[in-house]
Amino acid sequence: MNMVANSEPVVSYFGYWPEFADGTVLRFLFESPGTISLSVRYGDAMTGRSGEVDLRFERVTRAELDELREQNVLDALVLTDGSPMEVRLEAAYGLHGSFACESAAVVDFRRVAR
């Protein structure tokens, strides 16, 4: 996925850029000025592979997020290419909403044993 910088380790490991369905939000941080950091643990049931992805979204605007809870599970993390990029967090449980940003990047990726 070329709209997310440094996405190669994630795509190489899973074979695709995941939507993070059933991904657990491990960390959510809204930093000033205008940066969102998001860590998600995701597992692919078909391949048996799991990993933790740390994402950083820069120059965030129009953030509308709700229901951050102790436990948060994504139904999907949807990224729409454009300037600005639109990011939508669809929740299975907890944190959901959307925001716009100028850039997105994988800052760290760790393989996790299932």
The tens digit of pLDDT for each residue in 19-69 reads 999 999 999 999 878 999 999 999 999 999 999 999 999 999 999 999 999
Cis geometry, peptide bond prior to residue 33 (ω within 30 degrees of 0): yes
Every domain of the chain and the residues it spans: 4-112
Please answer whether residues 33 and 12 qualify as being in contact, where contact means their C-beta atoms are separated by less than 8 angstroms.
no
On whether the CB atoms of residues 93 and 72 are closer than 8 A, the answer is yes
The amino acid present at 106, given as its one-letter code, is V
**CA distance to 47, 59, 93, 110, per residue, from 104 (Å):** 26, 9, 23, 18
Q: What is the DSSP letter of 71?
A: S
Query: Do 33 and 61 meet the contact criterion of CB atoms below 8 Å apart?
Result: no
Q: What is the pTM of this model?
A: 0.94
Per-residue pLDDT tens for 72-101?
999 999 999 988 999 999 999 999 999 999
CB 101 within 8 A of CB 59: yes
H or E element in which residue 105 lies:
strand 103-112
